[in-house]
Amino acid sequence: MSERYTVRPASGPLRASVRVPADKSIAHRVALLAAWAEGSSELIDFPHSRDPRSTLASLAALGVPIEETRPGQIRVQGVGLRGFRLHGQRLWCGNSATTMRLLAGMLIGQRGEVWLDGDESLRRRPMERLAAPLRRMGGSVQTRDGLPPIYIQGTARLKGGGFRMEVPSAQVKSALLLAGLLAEGETTVLEPIPTRDHTERLLGLEPVQTPEGWLLRLVGGTIRPQPDRYQIPGDPSAAAFWAVAAALIPGSQIELLEVGLNPTRTAFLEVLRRVGAEVEVVCERWLGREPVGRICVRAAGLHPFRIDAPESALLIDELPVLAVLASQAQGESWITGARELRVKESDRIRAMTEGLRRMGARVEELEDGWVFEGPARLRGAEVSSCADHRVAMALAIAGLLAEGETVIEGAEWVEISYPGFWQTLARFQAMSS
């Protein structure tokens, strides 16, 4: 049943320190690699978010022993590179495209057959972009007109190949690298536009810069994931909601603690600086090959801004909340080169246009983004999350700025990446009133 959450406007500056949930992207990857190791791994600070939990459940259904030894601490008894049990079962990936796509890359080189399926939203996500290159590696993959469910008949005779990422996608890139570990010979992936690089870091791969983009190369059989102790940093994409709120509300200062600072994830901080916010970043330590530290954002200006194609790829999950920022900047702001937003958990271009328009934003919808004329006075309204976690949270940040109450329909979707979001928001509201 759809839940509603009422957001009241912030009546004063937001001043707080916040810890956000552990990074969803990294959580999927460490769980998957731990399952492929031979031996026992510990995942520390594993998030309660539903998407990474879908990965754990799918691994368990593939015969990987997984135990939550205490809340947020997971022990994975790895079964080795070819140890998954495929017997025609249907793996439930829920709302998580990362689970589905990365697992497809790992399953294609195992023996047996398996289905990957998910909820209504996941059943609308494009899968041919992954199925086609996996077929070129010799895999047998079927989709339903390019959409899930995916049927895989694994093969022990996968061959490496050379791939160029026409659509920037860290999920497809990662799936091809993982399939490449099981393939014979060399697999290369060329990214003309870079995307988040957690998989490469975990596998110890260094990209080479070429005139056509970043090139990754691996040879099947030469990399074997080892059992390890993985601690997962805070999620910068979750931190972005509060960072934008801090930039928007005069007098605010929000400190975000223990956040991942991987440069392929922190491009939103550059946008905040361009807008005029004061942003301070302190790298405090490394968790494996991921830098972690503190981010402090202070409101100090709201200049209009432009984001286009190469930058959009590194901001893909932050664009809904950056759209809220654009609605308040003083002048015309453009966000373009983000057509991929149309095939996320919802059509995020449409969802944010509808929600923000209802609240009074002046926005024009483009095929690949938006143009905003700011600053628009927002007023509370009833808006829909469109069953999309990031839309729910972005509209909630807009609600902090609006006059009157904003009701977010489908508020429960925040659980996909940020359980506790509404509690943190309530804490801010109590503080500012």
Q: Name the residues that contact ligand S3P, by CB under 6 A.
A: 25, 98, 169-171, 174, 196, 316-317, 340
What tokens were used for 31?
Answer: 């769980």
Q: Where are the alpha helices (DSSP H) in 75-150?
A: 97-107, 128-136
The b/e string for 401-417 (b: 16+ C-beta within 10 A; e otherwise) is bbeeebbbbbbbbbbbb
As measured in angstroms, the least distance from the Cβ of 51 to ligand S3P is: 8
CB of 171 or CB of 231, closer to ligand S3P: 171
As measured in angstroms, the least distance from the Cβ of 36 to ligand S3P is: 17
CB of 125 or CB of 358, closer to ligand S3P: 125
Q: Strands, DSSP E only, in 220-319?
A: 229-231, 253-260, 278-287, 290-298, 306-307
- The one catalytic residue in 197, 228, 235, 317 is 317
What tokens were used for 380?
Answer: 């509370």
> Taking a C-beta distance cutoff of 8 angstroms, is the pair 186, 215 a contact?
no
CB of 76 or CB of 165, closer to ligand S3P: 165
As measured in angstroms, the least distance from the Cβ of 341 to ligand S3P is: 9
What angle separates helix 170-182 from helix 128-136, to the nearest 10 degrees?
20
C-alpha 104/C-alpha 414 separation (Å) is 26
As measured in angstroms, the least distance from the Cβ of 115 to ligand S3P is: 21
Is residue 51 part of the annotated active site? The answer reads: no
CB of 27 or CB of 401, closer to ligand S3P: 27
As measured in angstroms, the least distance from the Cβ of 428 to ligand S3P is: 24
In the chain, helix, strand, coil percent, each to 5?
Answer: 35, 30, 35
Q: Is 318 left (phi over 0), alpha (psi -120 to 50) or beta?
A: alpha
CB of 175 or CB of 302, closer to ligand S3P: 175
As measured in angstroms, the least distance from the Cβ of 103 to ligand S3P is: 12
At residue 245, what is the residue type?
A
**148: preceding bond cis by omega (within 30 degrees):** no
E strand or H helix at 422, and its extent?
A: helix 421-432
CB of 102 or CB of 381, closer to ligand S3P: 102
As measured in angstroms, the least distance from the Cβ of 302 to ligand S3P is: 26
Q: Is 360 helix (H, G, I), strand (E, B) or coil?
A: coil
Which strands, in side-by-side order, build the sheet including 4-7? 4-7, 406-409, 382-384
| 219: phi then psi, degrees, rounded to nearest 5 | -115, 125
Q: Any residues with CB less than 8 A from the CB of 216 and at least 6 apart, and which? A: 173, 177, 188, 189, 190, 191, 200, 205, 207, 208
Mind telling me the catalytic residues?
317
